[in-house]
Structure 1
């Protein structure tokens, strides 16, 4: 078994608490679904947001999900590079898995699909 990183990102329409929480849940649920993982297999989750999203901590959404209360979570601000994507939530899910690196499926939703078109499915 190895620890693998699963990347994901989603954009939200506005700096509003509900949109941030809902977007975080949507992104995490899709990562879990496509990679067939369960919270028990998660080593930790790093959550970053762009500086324009300060209405709430996205990790609040994850903490409220069933069976996720023991998963270590950390929120941070994304590096503010000029011209970079706005209103973006990113996740780095570290998972204990037998899956190979090539079998990991990264998830990019909404406007964040433009970040990694090579990994984004239509």
Structure 2
């Protein structure tokens, strides 16, 4: 069976963000694949929207057998299970969230569909905090 190496970025800024990250990591490990490496957990200010709630963020490198679209579906399922019923695309703007899990890199491929673009351009090139975390696990 072949495996894929994927970098994910997780963020949370409401309802005990640090605990939300830990719950999501456990779900990723049990439902998606092995966590090979994780970055430090940091606190960052909201980006591209105003909020009084700072984020907890972490990047992880995982090994999974799932294709990009199947992986996205499984990550969205984790987000829904944790209480995030609709993502930013539904609202047309960023807002506070209990959990956000982005696929940043998937092996070394470029992948483009209506629902998913890999690599994740904003987190790799526009957000310093994200780029630093991602570089810790690459």
Same fold (TM over 0.5): no
Higher relative contact order (CA 8 A, sep 6+): 1
* TM-score normalised to structure 1 length: 0.37
Q: Give the TM-score taking structure 2 as reference length.
A: 0.34
Q: Whose helix fraction is larger, Structure 1's or Structure 2's?
A: 2
